[in-house]
Amino acid sequence: METIDVIANNIEDYVDFTSQLEMICKFYKIPLDASPLYNFRDALSHYIFRYEATNDYDKIAQETSIKEHLFRGAKDIYVLILQDMIKRVSIVLKKLNFRKKEQDFRILLHEFKKLEIEIRKNTESAVIRNLTSFIEMLNDLIEKTKIIFEQNGTNFFDSK
């Protein structure tokens, strides 16, 4: 069982991570759904119940719910970004005629899909612990994607 302070820190970390992901959405013009906000709201309501809990069973139940909501909200926004990137790359890939250019885009497509599998297969605690590294990998891959789009004369922002 964690202390109420540790739980509060986990919630603060979630806000930091999701705000970074939301900024990625805003910058790359990716429509954001409400999942991170709903899950944050739900985590806060469980936090209140955890704070008021008087027995270990209730405390553990609320802590589990908090972690689940934080994990789900972070994972949902991350997967949303990955799926948007996969869609952009797929659209351009369908338009290409040259084998060499196709190869670059297919590699990108597989890298995005690999990241999606990685975030989906990890457990709650592993994802929350490694969210910073997931964000860094995502940022690096998006920057690589922009460069490949530019090298092939495709506008990254118009490929939706």
Taking residues 91-114, what's their average pLDDT? 82
* Single pTM value for the model: 0.79
- Report the pLDDT value the prediction gives residue 46, as an integer from 0 to 100: 96
pLDDT in tens, 103-158: 888 889 999 998 888 877 765 555 555 677 778 888 899 999 988 888 888 777 76
pLDDT in tens, 11-64: 998 888 888 888 989 988 899 888 888 999 999 999 999 999 999 999 999 999
* SS (HEC) of the chain: CCCHHHHHHHHHHHHHHHHHHHHHHHHCCCCCCCHHHHHHHHHHHHHHHHHHCCCHHHHHHHHHHHHHHHHHHHHHHHHHHHHHHHHHHHHHHHHCCCHHHHHHHHHHHHHHHHHHHHHHHCCHHHHHHHHHHHHHHHHHHHHHHHHHHHHCCCCHHHCC
- Report the pLDDT value the prediction gives residue 160, as an integer from 0 to 100: 58
